[in-house]
Amino acid sequence: MHPVIDCVLPKFLEPGFEPSPEYQLIRLGKKWDGGYIVDQRSVQNATRLVSFGLNNDWSFESAFMKQNPVPVSIFDHSVSKRVYLRNFIYHSLLDFSPVQAYRNLSAFFRYPFFFKGQCQHLREHVGYSSVPRMIDFKKAMQLSGHQEAESIFLKIDTEEWEYTILEDLIKAAPFISGLVIEFHRVDLHISLIKDFIARFPLSLIYTRANNYGHVNPAQQPLLIECTFSASAVPRKQPFQSVAIDMQNARKLPPYNLSFA
């Protein structure tokens, strides 16, 4: 058993809202890393799911479709069937990582069964349009097929590029039913996160520390996941993590998160 690591975040990251009484928080995605806590209503109200970040895991998107079978667009420039095969060979023959080899081989075979019909993988990197081989949020929405009247759910895991689209998310809020977003290097971007939460019209309903990220000397987690909903109500009880939640890295010390 690993010793629990206590960590703390500023109070503005403590959720002050929760799903309305007729709905509840659910966890979508595989066990450990890859699953997220969201609320049922924001999932049910969506007419399209758009994800930024794929790697070799689309368990969240698959679970989302079981709740609400909407069109799905996932953006990630770094992966493809060819990349999965190449990574399988590398992890099998060069760095001898059987877990990584298996994950990439599994993704190679599963890829064509998921990405067909209304599920599409777009090999685009979302961030600044001024950067070569990168598109901005507006272009991503166009490529996803999003129409102005549609209500979308967004999942964002883009390894610090999330900070380049925060203004776009604020502007797009009227047609967002829910958002789950990973914030990386929290210590360097805490003011941007605070400003975003203050200005983003959707309500913060869940915050968790991802134990794949480190903790700085001030005991602040450097990688967090936040869930927002357009259908939340003020929280009646102090925020607590739910029993269905679980740490991301099974073999690393768990984090005990508080707010101050």
| Cα–Cα dist 76/85, whole Å | 16
In a domain, 120, yes or no: no
pLDDT of residue 2: 77
In a domain, 76, yes or no: no
In a domain, 234, yes or no: yes
In a domain, 142, yes or no: no
pLDDT of residue 86: 97
pLDDT of residue 22: 87
CA atoms lying within 13 Å on the CB side of residue 78: 11
In a domain, 164, yes or no: yes
How many domains, the chain? 1
**For the segment 78-106, what is each residue's pLDDT rounded down to a tens digit?**
999 999 999 999 999 998 899 999 999 99
- pTM tops 0.75, yes or no: yes
Q: What is the pLDDT along the chain (260 residues), one digit of tens a residue?
A: 779 999 999 999 999 999 988 899 999 999 999 999 999 999 999 999 999 999 999 999 999 999 999 999 999 999 999 999 999 999 999 988 999 999 999 999 999 999 999 999 999 999 999 999 999 999 999 999 998 889 999 999 999 999 999 999 999 999 999 999 999 999 999 999 999 999 999 999 999 999 999 999 999 999 999 999 999 999 999 999 999 999 999 999 999 999 99
In a domain, 212, yes or no: yes
What residue numbers bound the domain in which 25 lies? Answer: 5-48+153-259
In a domain, 40, yes or no: yes
pLDDT of residue 21: 87
In a domain, 161, yes or no: yes
